[in-house]
Every structure is written in structure tokens, then in C-alpha cells.
Amino acid sequence: MADRTTYTPGTFSWTDLTTTDQEAAKSFYSGLFGWEAQDNPVGDGIVYSMMLIDGKPVGAISPQPEAQRDAGVPPVWNSYITVQSADGALERAKHLGAAVHAPAFDVMDVGRMGVLQDPQGAFVLVWEPKTHIGASLVNHHGALSWNELATADVDASAAFYGDLFGWSFTPMEGDMPYLVVQNADGQSNGGIRPRTESEPPYWLVYFGADDIAASTARAGELGGATIVEPMEIGPGTISVLQDPQGAVFALYSGQFDD
């Protein structure tokens, strides 16, 4: 278990789900992880549901924006990276070839954020914290534990994110090329791998699980689907799942960084 009160810039710090059925998604993930929902009205009849473990925020669930729904975009878990300046990070990203889909804006008094699409097509969000640092608990059952980029060009993606966030990379031995991301303080911060033909470029969010087999089975009982059955990867075991509304996420059990 790892409590967090701050994040080094360039670190994944938050995740939220935009979905077509907020109440059903809350029920699914609460049944899977034991989350408790704290519903926060954010205007225009929209509620942002902060999901808690022992009173500590670990993620959130919100309605999918109407424009995304109309465009046929599936529900998705979003990956946020802490930055010193959301405006500065987005400007730098544009200079490096990314597209900015949402310029920096204030989220009440909790932070400032923006949305970018990297040159290979994956979306990621930048978060400039104010009163909300991100997840207060990570590397725990039901809490954020890893973020992994599937990309058509591993080297180009590494160059982009290294320039943008100051990341460094360590190759992991195995049958498939895999780069482990380190942030500025040297902590492991995610991974980059080649995408399969059936995958879009995207950041996959991993949550910790005490028992991969049991959690994978429980997801099925709750109406989810298994994309990748539990498999050993060296430092631990993973599985990849899809919730009943279609959002893809992964589970990890094994060695955690503090």
C-alpha cells in the first residue's frame, strides 16, 4: 500500500472513467474493488463520482460527454499525468507534434487540466494540481498501479514522452519489446509496448488486485468480459478486462514500488 500526498511532475497521478451508464459502472466497480462513491455535482445536472477506499480517492466515474457518445467513442479510463503547468505542458506537446484536444482549463479550485493526443494517436491528460493532488492511495487492491501505452512506434513514443515529461526508459527483457518508464525521481512510472493489430493506440490503466484469478472471475460474475486471461509477466500477474459498458482496464498482482 502507498499513500500519496504529492506527485513528482511527470508522474501518473489520477484516472477517471467516462461512461455511457454511470450508475451501472459504479455498481460494477464497487462490486469488484469495494469502492465507495462520493457524488459531487459539477453543474448542468452532471455528477462526478469520486471513488474511495477507506475514505481515500483512488479514481472517479463520470458520464461520457455527449459529443463523444454521438461520435461512437467507447467508454474509456483516462490517464492523468501531473505537471507543473498545464498550459506549458500543452504548448510543449504541440511543439513536439501532438494535437491539443482540450486547451488548459480550470476545474473549479481543484486543479487545471488539458487533453492531448500524442503523435501516434493515444490520448492522455495533464493535471496541474491545486486542492486535489490525484489519487491518495496507489499500489493497493482497487487502486491505480500502472499505466501502459500501446503504440505503433515504441521508439517514437518514447522520444515524444521523454521530451515532454523528462522520462527515461529501461528495456525489459522478454519476447516483446517493452520499455519501463522512469520519472524524474527515478521511480517506475509505466510502460510502453507495441500495440496489436486489433488495438488502437491508447494508455491502458491497471488496478491492483490481491488475487488476479478471483478478481477476474468476479468481474465476469458482475457482467464484465475477459480479454486476456491471468498470465505471469515476471514481476507479477496481469489480466485485461472489459466492463459491461465496454471500457477496457487491467489488473496487476505482484511486486509494487512504494
**10 and 106 in a common domain:** yes
Per residue in 209-242, pLDDT (tens digit) is: 999 999 999 999 999 999 999 999 878 899 999 9
- Domain CATH code at residue 58: 3.10.180.10
pLDDT computed for residue 258 by the predictor: 64
Same domain, yes or no: 91 and 171: no
> What's the mean per-residue pLDDT of the chain?
95
**41 and 118, same structural domain?**
yes
Within 34-74, where are the H helices? 66-70
Choosing from 129, 161, 195, the residue where a domain stops is 129
Q: Return the pLDDT at 256.
A: 78
Q: Is 227 exposed, middle or buried (0-12, 13-18, 19+ CB in 10 A)?
A: middle
pLDDT score of 257 more than 80:
no
Quick one: 20 and 109 in the same domain?
yes
pLDDT given at position 75: 96
Whole-number pLDDT of residue 69: 85
Count: domains in the chain: 2
Q: Which tens digit of pLDDT belongs to each residue from 64-104?
A: 988 888 888 899 999 999 999 999 999 999 999 999 999 99
Q: Does 12 lie in the same domain as 85?
A: yes
Q: Where are the beta strands (DSSP E) in 69-201?
A: 76-82, 99-107, 111-117, 123-129, 137-138, 144-151, 168-171, 179-182, 188-194
**Per-residue pLDDT for 45 more than 90?**
no
Of 78, 97, 129, the last residue of a domain is 129
Same domain? 7 vs 115: yes
pLDDT(57) > 60: yes
Q: Tell me the residue range of the domain where 154 lies.
A: 138-254
pTM of the model: 0.96
Q: Are residues 67 and 111 in the same domain?
A: yes
State whether 196 and 117 are in the same domain. no
Among 77, 97, 129, where does a domain finish? 129
Residue 254 pLDDT greater than 90, yes or no: no
